Structure 1
Amino acid sequence: MRTEILGPMDVDDAPDIAVIGGIHGDEPCGVQAIERFCSGALIDAIQRPVKLIIANERALEANMRYIEGDLNRLFPGDPESELYEERLAFDLYQEIKDCTTLGFHSTISFDQPFGTFANLTPQKATIMQALPLEHAADFSGHVTGRGVNLSEFVNVEAGYQGSEAAVENAYACLIAYLRVMDALPAEADITPTTHYQVQHTIEKIPNEIYDVHVNNFEQVSPGMEYATTGTGKSLLADSAFWPVLMSSHGHDTLLGYAAKRTGEISATVTDSD
């Protein structure tokens, strides 16, 4: 793990905002966005201390999701663990436990950037509104051991894994985040961001091949065929839902998540659809 602290700092100051890239080693967009920022002119405009963290350097070097365990499933970590990533999760948690934190990921399921978080707070809602995102998926109650379970932690899925567009999206979100957190001058542009509350997972049948016939964040109506298997099984929606991270081959055991659209994100959301 590599941490760089930018901005003016007095002796007693400790940064309380952070940015993380490289939680997964095969998702380098956040790392590239951080490196682009650090080599640009805006670095001189930082007006509040901020931590920029490159997390899993070994996995990044190997271009692998992880070395011994999925870092994003192992928070808050264990310094005595035999697993490299579980020890790393502990060290990373120590760096960010007192920070509002933005993490970066990428995906093979959707080409546009979107936010993910759990346990919505006013701060998280403000960040989601300030980032250039149309969608934000709320995983409250559906994930354990992930960064989004930590206090004041949000993620951006920046786009297709390995794409230049994902790097551009991550960089734009990084600048907007630093602005809304008053680490850079200029106001962040507030944009409408729709909130999706994840309801349940959609599991795969082991060893089955899938084709997905719907698009993420577009409503699936009751009775609609949203996927088929290689053996001819048709998956039909029992009720309306909005797909999140749905992909034929993005995960070994999950096809994706079914969510409910609740309306524009705010600290308190109500059912609107």
Structure 2
Amino acid sequence: MRIYELGDGTPEVSVVGSIHGDEPCGARAIERFVAEDPDVERPVKLIVANEEALAADERYLDEDLNRAFPGDPNAESHERRLAHDLGREVRGTTAFSLHSTQSYAEPFAIVDTVDAISRSILPRLPVDVAVETNHFAEGRLIEHAHTIEVEAGLQKSDEAADNAYWLIRAFLTATNVLPAPAVASDGSSELDEESESQTEDDRLKLAIPEENSIDVFRLLERLPKPPADQYEVHATNFEPVAAGETFARADAEQFVADRDFYPILLSAYGYADIFGYAGDKVGTLP
């Protein structure tokens, strides 16, 4: 575990990347942000979590770290010991955990439940969707109070690393670690003297919106996936599936919806034993 602390005092805000070693976007984004030596208005802690799995390019060494919390300092498992140490580091902070996925290219947020803290932060992130895990968060960091996870994009892609960087900046702006970019009456941002060398894309991303409308979904059930040689998914995440529609296939076996649902984290090969989750749309933020 590698820890960077910026600012003076005890951090009440933390950022965690690469809980899974095959999801390097968080580590890349943290290192990019720290290398800029940013001025911060509140102290913050940034953590590259599972360095050993990251170096091995494996999701984990002994067990899934994001199913091992609260951990055990005396466990034989590397990840269970690490879960204890990481939990200690983020305790007492508003935490932001960066992930990536094989199922969806656009960033979206995940929370245990939408509470007062997440309600104040989520609309200020560059995401359109948030997912409540309901009772599917056992052993995950997200069970800790005031923790928001984000899926930054497709696993191991440059886009996910870039998205993760801008998500960090947006989160730290929402938690008053970074000052909000000043926006002129024409909607442009006041940038520093280096702004002339920045791309138009960078300029747009620096103009962090005051508020963003977010659709909120809630996980309802897992969608089991049997052993097979080939899998296919015929539904689009966060787009409704009607009862009677085929949403997936395992070899010759078709899987047909027995009721209306919204697919969440649905992919052919993202999980070993499930296609993903069925969920409901429960509202919007703000």
TM-score calculated relative to the size of structure 1: 0.92
Q: Where in structure 1 are there 5+ consecutive unaligned residues? A: 267-273
Deviations 1:148-206 (A, max 9, x none): 11111111100010101101111111000000000000165211111001111101113
User: Secondary structure at the residue paired with 1:256?
Assistant: strand
Mapping of residues 180-219 of structure 1, within 5 Å:
180-186=174-180, 188-189=208-209, 190-207=211-228, 209-219=230-240
Q: Does 1:32 align with 2:28?
A: yes
Partner of 1:271: none
Amino acid at match of 2:265: L
Percent identical residues = 39
Any runs of at least 4 consecutive aligned residues in structure 1 with deviations exceeding 6 A, and if so which? none
**Mapped partners of 2:30, 2:235: distance in 1:** 33
Report SS of the residue matched to 2:127: coil
Specify the alignment match of 1:69 in structure 2: 63
Aligned partner of 1:117: which letter?
Answer: V
Which residues of 2 match residues 73-92 of structure 1 at below 5 A? 73-92=67-86
Distance (whole Å) between structure 2 residues aligned to residue 80 and residue 233 of structure 1: 45
Contact 1:45 1:185 in 2 (8 A): no
CA distance in 2, matches of 1:205, 1:250: 14
CA contact (8 A) 1:119 1:149 kept: no
Aligned mate of 1:51, from 33, 45, 55:
45
Deviations 1:61-100 (A, max 9, x none): 1111011111100011100101011000000000001111
Partner of 2:3: 3
Letter in 2 for 1:206: P
How far is the alpha carbon of 1:207 from its aligned partner? 3.8
8 Å CA contact retained: 1:114, 1:136: yes
| Partner SS, residue 104 of structure 1 | strand
- For 1:249, the equivalent position in structure 2 comes to 269
Q: Deviations over 1:38-61 (max 9, x none)?
A: 112xx3321100000010110111
Pick aligned residue for 2:103 from 102, 106, 109: 109
How far the C-alpha of 1:208 sits from its partner, in A, is 5.6
Q: Which amino acid aligns with 1:199?
A: L
CA RMSD, Structure 1 to Structure 2 (Å): 1.2
Aligned to 1:175: 169
Q: Distance in 1 between matches of 2:258 and 2:120?
A: 34
CA distance in 1, matches of 2:213, 2:155: 25
Q: Is the 8 A contact 1:6 1:51 kept in 2?
A: yes
Aligned to 2:188: none
Conserved 8 A contact 1:109-1:247: yes
Q: Is the 8 A contact 1:115 1:137 kept in 2?
A: yes
User: Match of 2:117?
Assistant: 123
**Aligned 1:13-24 pairs, distance under 5 A:** 13-24=9-20
| DSSP 3-state at the match of 1:33 | helix
User: What CA distance in whole angstroms lies between the structure 2 residues aligned with 1:68 and 1:199?
Assistant: 29
Residue 94 of structure 1 aligns to a residue whose secondary structure is helix
How many angstroms apart in 2 are the aligned matches of 1:245 and 1:136?
12
For normalisation by structure 2, the TM-score amounts to: 0.88
- Cα distance in 2 for partners of 1:44, 1:162 equals 26
The number of equivalent residue pairs is: 259
Q: Is the CA contact (8 Å cut-off) linking 2:109 and 2:130 kept in structure 1?
A: yes
